[in-house]
Each structure stands twice: as structure tokens, then as C-alpha cells.
Amino acid sequence: MGDERVFSIDDDGGAQPLTETTLAEAGLWERRNLQEGVIAHPQILGENIRIVAFEFDRWQAAGGDRQLDRLDVLGLDSDGYLVVAELKRDRAPDTVQLQAIKYAAMVSRFTLDDLAAHHAQYLRERGNEVTDEQALELLTEHAPEIDAESLRRPRIVIVASGFRATTTATVVWLTEMGLDITLQQVQLYRTPEARLLLTVSQLYPVPDVEDFTVAPLQSESKAGKRARREKSTVVRLAAAGTVNDGELFRLQPTNEVTAEVREQIQNWLGQDERRGTAIWHNDPAKPLEWTYDGERYRPTTIVQQVLAEAAGIQRSVRGPDWWVDQNGQSLSQLAGPARGGFDWTLLHEALEVIPPGKWTAYQDLADLVGTASQPLGQHITRCPECELAYRVLSSSGAPAEGFRWTDVARTDSPQEVLEAEGVRFVNGKADPAQRISTAEIRALMS
């Protein structure tokens, strides 16, 4: 960055300024070096990003014509949102944001199956023999809550060595209109030993003041992602019974806000000890009873009210991170990871309690274990422990089209097995009266 100063420290503790250079002067190339660097280190684009494809050019118009545009890098974050990355070795041209928006519009039409097919192709090109189904499982394990809605709202990240004022002004305005765009600036330095050092700095939004520079539409988009994370946390806690009903939690401000705001919150909480405590209930809708007013809320709702009362600010926060038990464990920590390596133990236990003559739906089980129906369905079709998977149907009562037995020797259908157990079918759909709900499954497990 223009005002950035980088020094090397020698063995004696002395500081030596590094010489600024450019990727072009160092003989580095956009595709061979910058692009491969992003693929090897996707954190350049943001947290928890999986690379889905690169140099993607397999577009096709509605009329069947092949499009020649090529997207540099396509990623997927752990919240299920696509990340469109446009890379420029030198200063970004004036039109770079328009190019990125065009790619974002094109990928927003991807279905999950499209994404899996493209990811499988990417992995095969990198020497990994995987099927489309295996690629889909990798994607859903990374982003358990991925769905059609999240795929329609890609994020944009533009990486370049510099940006013109017209570009930054346009990006600021587009952000205010609700688009999620990040500018990452790369700068190369040469050490006294002639080694190269690359820095990556987020130019926009400025991290420390991000909440003050984004407009309501963008804030609502971020709040939506936070709400998805919170839903996953509280649903998993309530379903698993990790926290006992009646357990007391204390509000502990996190580093999401400044030290000054944290002090204001502590002062406000200190005026009435009831303001900083809440009682847990295993209810995925409103699990916390705020002792201040005796009403039930979601974790984030209380935190936002505290922020408004104590500091006069409104912003989205990760509410489950703010509530800790007597051991200092937050709700998020108690819930465990919601991404990558999802724990399916609760699902396996739930399948065991569904009695013969009953059936349930993928969405019912997804609500129980705290994920989405798509990854749950993908897991069931491949898991040898899910022997009773035939009792899980679509919400309409029809067996899933992609259902297959883990025992490849079986030739009977799920409908035939269910009918033998007493489930009635009409026109290929199970009797809704025999459907067992999420609440009923939870009761059987207790």
C-alpha cells in the first residue's frame, strides 16, 4: 500500500527498510504466480474459503452459444456463498469491477449439481480422481448450509497491486447498494538478501471501520449470514441437549467491538446485574430467557439490544459468541464446529429411534441435527451406518430419486420395504399421517 512501510529485523535487532518493487519487475506472472498463490493460500480471499475452480470458461448462453469469458478463481466460503475472485498483477483497470460483476451474475445461476461438476473437473485437472458425487460431498462438508439462496448471492474479491480512484469510488457505491465487494491490495518487497516478500492488505472495506462504511442493504446481507450461523448453533445445541434447561449464561463482549464500546457495555451491565445474564432453554427458536425482562430471545437479539442501550450503535454480531457459561465456554464453543467434518452422530441416533410403520423427511432430520437437507441427504446415501435410511423420504412422502442402498446387492425399493412395515402409499407417496416430526423424534431420543 502507498503508506505501508515494511522492515526486516536482523539478528542484532536492527531494522532495515525493504525496497518496494512490483510483480512485473520481479518477473512474476498473473496466472503462473499470483493465481497459483491464491489457490495455494485461499485465505488471501477471506476466511474459510475452498477453491472450487480456476480459469473457469465453461459458460454457455441460453441459446447454446459458448461464452469466451474466463473467471480467474471461483471459491466457496463456509457459509455457502460463492466467492468470485478477479486477479490483476498490476494496477486494476477502470473496468475491473464490471468484469467481476459479470462473472458474479453468471455464477449466480449455478445449481449445486453444476458446482459439484465444475469442482470435480477442477480436482481432476489437479491430479485427484473424484466423481461429481464425491465433489458434491466435499463442498457440502465445507459448507453444510449451502443452498440455492446462498448460491444466488456471490461475493466479489478483487486482488490487484493498486486501484484507481474511479474503481474504489465505484466499489464503495456498489457496496452501498448491497453488493459484497472486497478490494485486496498486494505489494511486493525485496529484502537486502534479494529475497521477495509479498504483503496482502484489505483496502476496502477498511476492516476497523467496516461497520461504519457499509450501508443498510450491505449490513442486512451480512446480518443474514450471521443469522444462518446463529441458527445452526442454537439448533444443534437444542437438538443435542448439550446445555441443560435452566443453565445460567453471562454476557461477555467480544472483540467484534472496540475496547471503548466494551467498556460502555460493562458500565451499562453493571447498573443492573440482570442485564448481563440469561437462562438457557432447549428451544431452537428462542433459547435464551433474558433475566432483565423475563422474555425469550435469540442470543443475537439480546446482544443487539444491549449495544443499542449501552453504546447507541446498531450492528450485526455473532450473538452465540457473546454468551458464556460458568466455565467461560461460549454457546458457539459448546455447539462445536458447524463446518468441515460435520458430526453425524445425532443423525445416526435419530434414525435408530424411528419405529417401523413410520417415516420422516430429510428436512425434519436436518432441523434436528442442525444442517441443511441437501448435505444430510448426500451423507445418508453414502453412510454404511445409516441402514434405516429408507425411512427418510422427501417432504411430499416420495422416496428420493437418488436413493440407493449401501448394500449394492439389494434390489427392493424403499417403498416396498416401508409397505412391508405398514406404511401406506398412495400414488407413490407415503401417508402424511404416518410421518414422524422433528419434535417426536427428539422426544423418542430423550
Pairing type for strands 155-160 and 82-87 reads parallel
- What CATH number does the domain containing 91 carry? 3.40.1350.10
Q: Do both 205 and 247 map to the same domain? A: no
Mean pLDDT of 236-262: 86
Q: Where are the beta strands (DSSP E) in 230-307?
A: 248-251, 277-280, 288-290, 296-297
Domain C-terminal end among 310, 333, 356: 333
- On whether residue 78 sits in a domain, the answer given is yes
Q: What percent of the chain has pLDDT over 70?
A: 85
Q: Do both 280 and 355 map to the same domain? A: no
- On whether residue 12 sits in a domain, the answer given is no
DSSP 336-373: ---SSS---HHHHHHHHHPPTT-BEEHHHHHHHHTS-H
Mean pLDDT of 426-431: 94
Average model confidence (pLDDT) across the chain: 83
- Asked if 308 and 267 count as a contact pair (C-beta separation under 8 A), the reply is no
The three cell numbers of residue 188 are 511486493
Give dist(CA 223, CA 230) in Å, integer.
Answer: 10
Mean pLDDT of 397-408: 79
Q: Do both 183 and 87 map to the same domain? A: yes
Q: Do both 66 and 189 map to the same domain? A: yes
- Report CA dihedral (209, 215, 218, 223) to the nearest 10 degrees: 70
Number of domains in the chain: 3
Angle, helices 299-311 vs 259-270, to 10°: value is 90
Give dist(CA 140, CA 340) in Å, integer.
Answer: 8
- On whether residue 340 sits in a domain, the answer given is no
Give the tens place of pLDDT for each residue, 60-103: 544 444 455 678 899 998 878 999 999 888 888 888 999 999 99
Give the DSSP H or E segment for 426.
Answer: strand 425-426
User: What pLDDT is attached to residue 172?
Assistant: 87
Higher pLDDT, residue 182 or 216: 182
The CA R_g of the chain, rounded to the nearest whole Å, is 25
Give dist(CA 145, CA 136) in Å, integer.
Answer: 13
Higher pLDDT, residue 372 or 347: 347
Q: Do both 258 and 405 map to the same domain? A: no
Domain range for 48 is 19-214
Give the tens place of pLDDT for each residue, 190-218: 887 888 888 888 888 865 444 444 444 45
- Asked if 135 and 50 count as a contact pair (C-beta separation under 8 A), the reply is no
Question: Of 169-173, 177-181, 349-353, 423-427, which has the strongest mean pLDDT?
Answer: 423-427
Q: Do both 370 and 415 map to the same domain? A: yes
pLDDT higher than 90, residue 358: yes
Q: Do both 329 and 361 map to the same domain? A: no
Q: Do both 329 and 350 map to the same domain? A: no
Give the tens place of pLDDT for each residue, 127-155: 888 898 888 888 887 887 787 778 888 99
- On whether residue 7 sits in a domain, the answer given is no
Q: Do both 376 and 295 map to the same domain? A: no
Domain C-terminal end among 187, 214, 241: 214
**Residue 209 dihedral angles phi and psi, to the nearest 5°:** -125, 20
pLDDT higher than 90, residue 176: no
Q: Do both 65 and 188 map to the same domain? A: yes
Give dist(CA 1, CA 27) in Å, integer.
Answer: 20
Q: Do both 183 and 248 map to the same domain? A: no
**Residue 242 dihedral angles phi and psi, to the nearest 5°:** -60, -35
Long-range contacts of residues 219-228, Cβ cutoff 8 Å, at least 24 apart: 219/315, 219/316, 220/178, 221/153, 221/178, 221/180, 222/180, 222/316, 223/316, 225/79, 225/81, 226/300, 226/316, 226/317, 226/318, 226/319, 227/300, 228/79, 228/80, 228/145, 228/150
Give dist(CA 408, CA 284) in Å, integer.
Answer: 38
- Number of residues that make up the chain: 446
User: What pLDDT is attached to residue 359?
Assistant: 96
- What CATH number does the domain containing 381 carry? 1.10.10.10
Give the tens place of pLDDT for each residue, 321-335: 899 998 888 888 887
pLDDT higher than 70, residue 391: yes
- On whether residue 5 sits in a domain, the answer given is no
- Asked if 159 and 179 count as a contact pair (C-beta separation under 8 A), the reply is no
Q: Do both 59 and 87 map to the same domain? A: yes
Q: How confident is the model at residue 342 (pLDDT cuts 50, 70, 90)?
A: low
Q: How confident is the model at residue 224 (pLDDT cuts 50, 70, 90)?
A: low
Q: How confident is the model at residue 2 (pLDDT cuts 50, 70, 90)?
A: low
Lowest mean pLDDT among 142-156, 216-230, 337-351: 216-230
Give dist(CA 6, CA 19) in Å, integer.
Answer: 8
Domain C-terminal end among 333, 360, 377: 333
- Report CA dihedral (372, 375, 380, 383) to the nearest 10 degrees: -140
- On whether residue 97 sits in a domain, the answer given is yes
- On whether residue 164 sits in a domain, the answer given is yes
Give the DSSP H or E segment for 304.
Answer: helix 299-311
Give dist(CA 226, CA 296) in Å, integer.
Answer: 19
Give dist(CA 317, CA 294) in Å, integer.
Answer: 22
- On whether residue 376 sits in a domain, the answer given is yes
